[in-house]
Chain A
Amino acid sequence: MQLTNRKVVVSNKKQSFAEKLYLPAIAKGMIITASHLFKKPPTIMYPEQKRPIAPVWRGQHVLKRDENGAERCTSCGMCAIACPAEAITMTSGERKKGEEHLYREEKYAATYEIDMLRCIFCGLCEEACPKEAIFLTDRLVDVEFERNDFIYGKDKLVEKIDKRIDVTKRQTPEVLAFKKIPGLMHNKLFDDKKLNKGNKH
């Protein structure tokens, strides 16, 4: 049975004198390499010159604050469930009186950790978040020497009040509308109140 039409009959013909000399073949090869001498290398000289990245490029996460500077995250755990790499862990805390300027709602994330070595930067946490609290940004995760240093806590994840991070390019009306589609997994989970039953973690 013939599967492809790429079959070639092996030729065992004797080499001609010119082929035996090798020199023409060598000259041919050397002309090919020499032609590359005049080509412009596609190198990007990294620290000085950077490859352009898309505005929706998925890099290090940020936990957003609202307009008043209060943390948006309510520690609902949707991101942790959505995360296919199981990189997100958190514990919840209850807001005390006088902490309204710190946390937007009564429940907040007392700790919030993302293991950057487990994270695959898929962006599903961002998609799952009902409070528009977590976003992926165009920042790169820094290089560290210790594995523990890659577990980012709230100190690294929550945006600084005086250094807000712009995510308007990611948070377009289309994205917001998309997140409301009821058929999506996270909306289903939320609607069916499967949160408590289905949480294996």
Chain B
Amino acid sequence: MTAFIIYKAIMCVGVFLLCLGAAAYATLWERKFAAFLQDRKGPSRAGWGGIFQPLADGVKMFMKEEIIPNVSNRSLFILGPCLFMITAVITSAVVPWAKPVMINGHMYDMQITDINIGVIYLLGVASIGVYGIMIGGWASNNKFALLGAVRASSQMISYEIPMGIALIALIISSGGSLSLKEIVEQQDAGFANFVWQPLGFLIFFICALAETNRAPFDLPECETELVGGYHTEYSSMKLGLFLFAEYINMFISSAVIATMYFGGYNFPFAHELYEKLGLADGSVWISLIGFGVLMAKIFGFVCLFMWIRWTLPRFRYDQLMNLGWKTLLPLSLFNLLLTIVIEYFRGNIHF
């Protein structure tokens, strides 16, 4: 029992630190990557190549004066960024980070918890995520913030539907399990789900962009129209939490996409490699290699997120709604139908 508690504690703290660290360096990489795409050099003063820039940014955020508007709803104003941050972090609970490790004859999953409704948990937490923005924007008692919050919530609702339907198609083609661990393991044996679900992947990816409020769907914080969007009234570390949580969201979204569609910690010819290296199941090295592969995939998707942000202009709000309801929703339904037909002929569905 003690071993179990220690294992869970280590996993929780480890994943939490991983999320924070990855998000911190995602902020630096975002600036660097944007600079490279625009023929600049990016931050390079804090430490070697700007390696301490996230630290400097964090210190700056803490040092700033904290302003809570008199007309705001004080408790909700404070709750907003906390909730946004919490929901961003707890999404990571169901992501399997690496292969199980054998310690003292016991297999330990490299995952905080393997609940059998992992996919539904992900969708649920993702939809709670908008509460942070909604509460923060509303409690600010500012028209711009409220508009940003309203935009965020309507956008979130619109894009969650095609996202959910794309996931249903994925689950049908991946054997009917809602557990993320089983989805990953099933991809180890055959192809990555991306091969069977290219359209579903596209829909899911676009929806993930919208869910994380990234460009070209960053209308809730559209500076040209809404000053700062839902965080107009926020300052100091509360603003920092909002901005930081966005990067955590991006990291987790990339992790989920890599897990669901690109095989997570698996990679082609993994077993041949492990056999050649003479590694048995449950070896720490297998786990580490798998973790590295997953991180490489996540890094690739984070780069793709940034690449899109620094290429595409922002949508107009009616275009956003049109894309969500008139394009992605029918497309995801079509994808679902197509998947059912294909899976029937592949023999995975029995009536």
Contacts and interface: CB of A to CB of B under 8 A. Distances in A.
Of A32, A41, A45, the most chain B CB neighbours within 10 A belong to A41
Contact of B307 (A33, A41, A43, A45): A33
Given A26-B312, A41-B35, A34 B307 contact: yes
Interface residues of A, number: 13
Contacts of A43: 40-41
Given A36-B36, A39-B39, A45-B41, 10 more contacts: A26-B311, A30-B307, A33-B311, A34-B37, A36-B37, A36-B38, A36-B39, A37-B37, A41-B35, A43-B40
Interface string A23-56: 0001001101110110101110100000000000
Nearest to A31: B311
A33 B35 contact: no
Nearest to A38: B36
Is the contact region of chain B dominated by helix, strand, or loop, or is it mixed? loop
A32 to B, nearest CB: 8
Interface in B302-330: 307-308, 310-312
B283 interface: no
A82 B10 CA distance: 77
A42 B39 contact: yes
A26 to B, nearest CB: 7
Residue with the greatest number of chain A CB neighbours at <10 A, chosen from B35, B38, B308, B311: B311
16 contacts: A26-B312, A29-B312, A30-B307, A30-B311, A32-B311, A33-B307, A33-B310, A34-B37, A37-B36, A41-B36, A41-B41, A42-B39, A43-B40, A43-B41, A45-B41, A45-B44
Contact of B311 (A29, A41, A42, A45): A29
A43 B38 CA distance: 11
A41 B37 CA distance: 10
B319 to A, nearest CB: 10
Contacts of B312: 26, 29
Interface of A: 26, 29-30, 32-34, 36-37, 39, 41-43, 45
B302 to A, nearest CB: 15
Contacts of A33: 37, 307, 310-311
Nearest to B33: A37
A174 to B, nearest CB: 40
Contacts of B41: 41, 43, 45
A19 to B, nearest CB: 14
Contacts of B310: 33
Contacts of A32: 311
Contacts of B311: 26, 29-30, 32-33
Contacts of A42: 39
A12 B312 CA distance: 23
A43 B307 CA distance: 21
Nearest to A39: B39
Contacts of A36: 36-39
A191 B36 CA distance: 61
B300 to A, nearest CB: 13
Contacts of A29: 311-312
Contacts of A45: 41, 44
A80 to B, nearest CB: 43
Nearest to B41: A43
A41 B36 CA distance: 8
A43 B32 CA distance: 14
A39 B307 CA distance: 15
Interface string B29-55: 000000111111100100000000000
Contacts of A41: 35-36, 39-41
A43 B39 CA distance: 8
Contacts of B37: 33-34, 36-37
A42 B39 CA distance: 7
A4 B108 CA distance: 76
Contacts of A37: 36-37
Nearest to A37: B36
A91 to B, nearest CB: 46
A115 to B, nearest CB: 33
B46 to A, nearest CB: 14
A26 B311 CA distance: 8
A33 B38 CA distance: 8
A41 B34 CA distance: 12
